[in-house]
Amino acid sequence: MPVCETHDYVQAMKHSNKTFGVVLAIGMGVLSTGTLPANASAAVDGKIVFDKNCSVCHSIAPPPKSAPPILPISARYHQRFSSRAKGIKYMADFIKSPSKEKVLADQQAITRFGLMPPVPLNAEELNAVAAWVWDQNTGGNWGPGRGARQGNGYQR
């Protein structure tokens, strides 16, 4: 057993101890100031992705900015998909490459606002923001929803 190796390790620890302490203090500072949500389990926070990349066009609740608000969209997705995973997958794909054929929330929105431009996000961000949108549904009644009946529907 090479005793000196253990010794070197201890020495190294002593030397870098100060740095560790500082890093630890910063880390704890971040946690205690509440910059991170308490339940942050995912590496990417969907709400932050939304604020940065979507909120310029999408309000959360009506009135709309230059796109349909998130709550009615989320409600429509809940009507169309029984599974959270499927809804999120479809939405993530839409955000990455929107097309007229894919629109399922509200076909009239295209006439009113134009087709949404693709938002360049990585897979993790797409998934996080789609999950966040899905989770916004409050079960509220947003009216008969023209898109539900007049849209081309979800046919895949």
Contact with ligand HEC (CB under 6 A): which of 44, 75, 88, 103? 103
Distance (Å, rounded) from C-alpha 46 to C-alpha 124? 9
Does 98 sit near ligand HEC (CB under 6 A)?
Answer: yes
Question: Which own/partner pairs from 119-127 qualify as long-range (CB within 8 Å, at least 24 positions apart)?
Answer: 119/53, 119/54, 119/95, 121/49, 121/53, 121/95, 121/96, 123/92, 124/43, 124/44, 125/44, 125/49, 125/53, 126/92, 126/95, 126/96, 127/44, 127/88, 127/92
Does 140 sit near ligand HEC (CB under 6 A)?
Answer: no
Does 144 sit near ligand HEC (CB under 6 A)?
Answer: no
Closest CA to 98 of 73, 75, 80: 73
Binding string, residues 57-86; x marks residues near ligand HEC by CB under 6 A: xx-------xxx----x-------------
Does 92 sit near ligand HEC (CB under 6 A)?
Answer: no
Stretch that binds ligand HEC, among 7-15, 24-32, 34-42, 104-112 (CB under 6 A): 104-112
Give me the residues that bind ligand HEC (CB under 6 A), please: 53-54, 56-58, 66-68, 73, 91, 94-95, 98, 103-106, 109-110, 113-117, 119, 129, 133
